[in-house]
Chain A
Amino acid sequence: MTVSPPAQPDARGHFGRFGGRFMPEALIAPLDEITEAWEDAKADPTFTAELARMLREYANVPSPLYEAHRFSEAVGARILLKREDLNHTGAHKIRNVIGQALLAKRLGKPRAIAETGAGQHGVASATACAYLDLDCTVYMGEVDTERQALNVARMRMLGAEVVPVTTGSRTLKDAINEALRDWVSTVDTTHYLFGTAAGPHPFPAMVRDLTRGIGDEARAQSLELLGRLPDVAVACVGGGSNAIGLFTGFVADEQVRLVGIEAGGDGIETGRHAATITGGDIGVLHGARSYLLQDEDGQTLDSHSISAGLDYPGVGPEHAHLAATGRAEYRPATDAQAMSAFELLCRTEGIIPAIESAHALAGAIELAEEMGSDATILVNLSGRGDKDVHTAAQYFGLIEEPVVLDEGTEE
C-alpha cells in the first residue's frame, strides 16, 4: 500500500528544525524502546498483516472516496470526500489507536493511557483497548468532561477509567500533562497511546505511519475514479493526525497542493483562535519543537475553537516543517466559516460532518472560489458529526431548551 516514501525524520526525530525530544530523561529510554519496536513492527509481515486485517474487518477501512455532486455544484468546483466518517467510532482516529494498541501488545504492556479533548481519541482508545484486552485509563480535562458527558459515558461503557484533570486550564493540554505524569511513573507496564501526530519522537512519525492510509487510499481511489490526481488535498489541522495522514500520500506529487485548515475561532485578529501555524510562534510544547500559542515569556496560551478536537495550542512538528518548506499551506477558517460549511454539507449531501472536518470543507469552499470550476478538490472528511449535534443545534438556534440535551455536547 506504500505509494510514496514519507519524509523521514532524522535519527533523533527532527523534521528540519522541528520535532525532536524535549522530555524528562526518565522517558527517553522508553521512547527509544517504542521507536525500535515500531521500526521492527513495520518491517514484520506478521504484524502488518494483522494490523491490515483488523483495520479491514473491524474498523471498516479502507473508507470510500465519494464525489459530492450537489456540494460540488453549490461551491463551484469538483469536490471529492474521503469518507473517514464511515470508519468504526466515526473518525480517522481508529487507525492510530488500533495500530498503537497492537504495538502495546507486542511490547508486552498490559495497560494503555490516553489523553482526550472532545473525547473522540478517548473513545477510540477505549474501543481499541476493549478489542485488544488492554486496561485503559483516559485523562480528560475537567472542563471537557463536563461539556462531553456523553463521551465520558461511552468510554466508561467500554471499560475505560476516565480521570478528570483539575490542573491548569483543565482542558486537553492539561490532560496531556497529566497523562505524561502517569506515564513517567508507570512506564514499565504502560503504553502512552498518544492521540495525534505531535509529542516527542517517535510519536509524530509513528502516528503519521498509522494514518497515512488515508492519503494512500485516496490517491489510488482518485486515479481509479478520475484517472488522475486531485489538484489540491485539504484537511483540518489541530494536532494534525488526519492532515498528515492525507498529505503523506501526496507529498511526492508536487502538482498536488496540500492545504491544512486551522481553527480560526473568532478570527485570528481577536486572539481567540487555535490557528497555531498561522497565528503562533516557534517553541517547545509537549516534547517537540513546533509552532505554538504562547506569550512573550513562553507560557502556553489557551486556544479557542468551536471544535473541541481542534482546540489545542500546539501542532505536530511535521506540519511545521511542511509549512516552513512551503510544501503545504496553512490557513484559518473561523467558527462562522466552518459552521456555514457544516450546514451546506448537511443540506446538499445528507452528511452531518464533525465540526473539525467542517473546517476542511470551509477551506475547500474558499479554494473553489479561488481556483474556479475546473478544480478538483479532495477533502478529508475526517469524522462524523453525531457528537456535534448539540453544539450545532445551539449554534443554529434549532433547540429552545439547551438543558434538554445536556449531554453529548461540545461546549
Chain B
Amino acid sequence: MSSIDALFERTRSENRAALVGYLPAGFPSKDLSIRAIETMVDAGVDLVEVGLPYSDPVMDGPTIQAAADVALAGGTRIRDVFDVVKASAATGAPTVVMTYWNPVERYGVERFAADLAAAGGAGLITPDMTPDEAEEWITASTAHELSRVFLVAPSSTDERLAMTAEAASGFVYATAVMGVTGQREQTSNLAPELVARLREVTDKPVGVGLGVSNGAQAHEVAAFSDAVIVGSALVRCLLDHDEPDDALAALRALVADLRAGVER
C-alpha cells in the first residue's frame, strides 16, 4: 500500500477529509521553503504538494506565479526540488510534486521518476498533462511505484472522468472551478456536482482544489470530498511577511484553522 493510500485509509477511519498543502520549492528560498513545509506539517497538513517552479505556469494565478518567479530568480533547480521533497518526506507526510510537464520531459521521464522515488516522493500531480499523453509516465510511475494524480474539471465529460480516474492513483484532483489557482471569496458551486459525478465512476479518493483559503471553506469542501487542497492562501502567508518568523507564524495559524475546518 502506498503512503497516500495509507493516509486516506487513516483519514477515512477518522471520519474526516485530509488536508493537502501546496508550497513551491525554493520560495522564498530553499531553506525557508523546507522550514515552511515542516511548519505546515507540524500544524496539521496531512499531504504535501511540492511545486516545481516553471517559467510558463498557465494554470496558476498571480500568487503562485509570483512565488515561482522568486524561486526561479533565486536559482532553484530540479535537483533542489528533490532536496525539498526529501526534507518534506522526512516529516512523515506523504509528499508529491506538482509540476508542469516540460521539466519532467526535459529531465527524462524515467530518470525523474527514479530520482523522485529515491528522494522519498510519493507521486506527481500533472496539471498540464492528461492521461491521453501519459504513456511514458504511466510506465515510469508503475516501475517506481509512484502515484499519478491527474486533474478533472467541471468541463470534463463523463467519459473523460471515467478514463482519468481509471488512469489515476493516489487520488483524483478535482478542480473546483473553471479557472486558475487563487483564493476566491466563495467556494465553488460546481465542485459538489463534479465530485458526485466522479463518485459514479470511481472509488478512488477525490481531492478538491482551487479557491479554498480558510477553515470555513475547508469545512464546506470536506463535507463532500476526501481531501481539501490549499495552495495560494499558504503561499500568500509567505509573500505577505518579510520576516521569516512572521511568515511561519502566519502559516501555522492558517493551517491550524484549515485543519480545524476539515475536522469539524
Please give the distance in Å from A292's CB to the nearest CB on chain B.
8
User: In the assembly, what is the distance between CA of A85 and CA of B115, in Å?
Assistant: 52
Interface pair B103/A184, CB less than 8 Å apart: no
Interface pair A12/B132, CB less than 8 Å apart: yes
CB neighbors of B among A180-234 (8 A): 180-181, 184-185, 187-188
Please give the distance in Å from B68's CB to the nearest CB on chain A.
9
Closest A residue to B104 using CB positions = A298
CB-based A-B contact count at 8 angstroms = 117
Contact partners of A21 in chain B: CB under 8 A: 130, 132-133
Interface pair A299/B105, CB less than 8 Å apart: no
Pick from A12, A24, A30, A289: contact of B127, CB under 8 Å: A24
User: In the assembly, what is the distance between CA of A286 and CA of B77, in Å?
Assistant: 21
Closest 10 interchain pairs by CB?
A298-B106, A26-B153, A298-B103, A185-B179, A298-B102, A29-B155, A299-B55, A284-B102, A180-B58, A300-B55
Closest B residue to A20 using CB positions = B133
Contact partners of B157 in chain A: CB under 8 A: 29
Interface pair B160/A26, CB less than 8 Å apart: no
Interface pair B133/A30, CB less than 8 Å apart: no
Q: Give the size range of A's interface with the partner.
A: 35 or more
Pick from A28, A185, A294, A297: contact of B180, CB under 8 Å: A185
A360 at the interface (CB under 8 A from B): no
Contact partners of B57 in chain A: CB under 8 A: 177
Contact partners of A300 in chain B: CB under 8 A: 55-56, 102
User: In the assembly, what is the distance between CA of A293 and CA of B156, in Å?
Assistant: 32
- Beyond A24-B153, A284-B101, 9 additional pairs, beta carbon < 8 A: A12-B132, A25-B150, A26-B154, A177-B58, A184-B59, A184-B178, A284-B128, A292-B102, A298-B104
A167 at the interface (CB under 8 A from B): yes
Interface pair A298/B105, CB less than 8 Å apart: yes
CB neighbors of A among B126-181 (8 A): 127-130, 132-133, 150-157, 160, 164, 175, 177-180
A285 at the interface (CB under 8 A from B): yes
Pick from B101, B107, B160, B175: contact of A22, CB under 8 Å: B101
Interface pair B179/A184, CB less than 8 Å apart: yes
Please give the distance in Å from B238's CB to the nearest CB on chain A.
19
B220 at the interface (CB under 8 A from A): no
Pick from A12, A26, A174: contact of B155, CB under 8 Å: A26
Please give the distance in Å from B54's CB to the nearest CB on chain A.
7
Pick from B102, B104, B105, B128: contact of A24, CB under 8 Å: B128
User: In the assembly, what is the distance between CA of A63 and CA of B81, in Å?
Assistant: 53
Interface pair A24/B58, CB less than 8 Å apart: yes
B78 at the interface (CB under 8 A from A): yes
User: In the assembly, what is the distance between CA of A43 and CA of B48, in Å?
Assistant: 50
Closest A residue to B160 using CB positions = A28
Sample of 26 A–B contacts (CB below 8 Å): A20-B132, A22-B129, A24-B59, A25-B150, A25-B151, A25-B153, A25-B160, A26-B153, A27-B155, A28-B160, A30-B155, A168-B55, A168-B69, A184-B59, A185-B177, A185-B179, A185-B180, A284-B101, A284-B102, A284-B105, A287-B128, A294-B102, A298-B54, A298-B104, A299-B55, A299-B103
B72 at the interface (CB under 8 A from A): yes
B61 at the interface (CB under 8 A from A): yes
Knowing A173-B56, A294-B106, the reply to whether A25 touches B156 (Cβ < 8 A) is: yes
Closest B residue to A281 using CB positions = B106
Please give the distance in Å from A284's CB to the nearest CB on chain B.
4
User: In the assembly, what is the distance between CA of A168 and CA of B62, in Å?
Assistant: 11
User: In the assembly, what is the distance between CA of A167 and CA of B136, in Å?
Assistant: 32
User: In the assembly, what is the distance between CA of A292 and CA of B101, in Å?
Assistant: 14
Q: Give the size range of B's interface with the partner.
A: 35 or more
Please give the distance in Å from B228's CB to the nearest CB on chain A.
19
Interface pair B160/A181, CB less than 8 Å apart: no
Pick from A26, A285, A287, A298: contact of B178, CB under 8 Å: A26
User: In the assembly, what is the distance between CA of A292 and CA of B150, in Å?
Assistant: 25
Name the residue in A23, A173, A180, A287 with the highest tally of chain B Cβ atoms < 10 Å from its Cβ: A23
Chain B proximity mask over A17-49: 1 for CB below 8 Å, otherwise 0: 000111111111110000000000000000000
Contact partners of A25 in chain B: CB under 8 A: 130, 150-153, 155-156, 160, 164, 175
A401 at the interface (CB under 8 A from B): no
Interface pair B152/A168, CB less than 8 Å apart: no
Interface pair A168/B106, CB less than 8 Å apart: no
CB neighbors of A among B35-74 (8 A): 54-59, 61-62, 65, 69, 72
User: In the assembly, what is the distance between CA of A188 and CA of B65, in Å?
Assistant: 25
Chain B proximity mask over A150-181: 1 for CB below 8 Å, otherwise 0: 00000000000000000110000110010011
Contact partners of B175 in chain A: CB under 8 A: 24-26
User: In the assembly, what is the distance between CA of A188 and CA of B54, in Å?
Assistant: 28
Pick from B56, B130, B156: contact of A286, CB under 8 Å: B56
A271 at the interface (CB under 8 A from B): no
Contact partners of A298 in chain B: CB under 8 A: 54, 102-107
A64 at the interface (CB under 8 A from B): no
Closest A residue to B164 using CB positions = A25
User: In the assembly, what is the distance between CA of A168 and CA of B155, in Å?
Assistant: 28
Contact partners of B54 in chain A: CB under 8 A: 298-299
A283 at the interface (CB under 8 A from B): yes
Knowing A20-B133, A299-B72, the reply to whether A28 touches B156 (Cβ < 8 A) is: yes
Interface pair B56/A297, CB less than 8 Å apart: no
Closest B residue to A283 using CB positions = B102
Interface pair A297/B107, CB less than 8 Å apart: yes
Please give the distance in Å from A184's CB to the nearest CB on chain B.
6
User: In the assembly, what is the distance between CA of A298 and CA of B105, in Å?
Assistant: 8
User: In the assembly, what is the distance between CA of A326 and CA of B10, in Å?
Assistant: 57
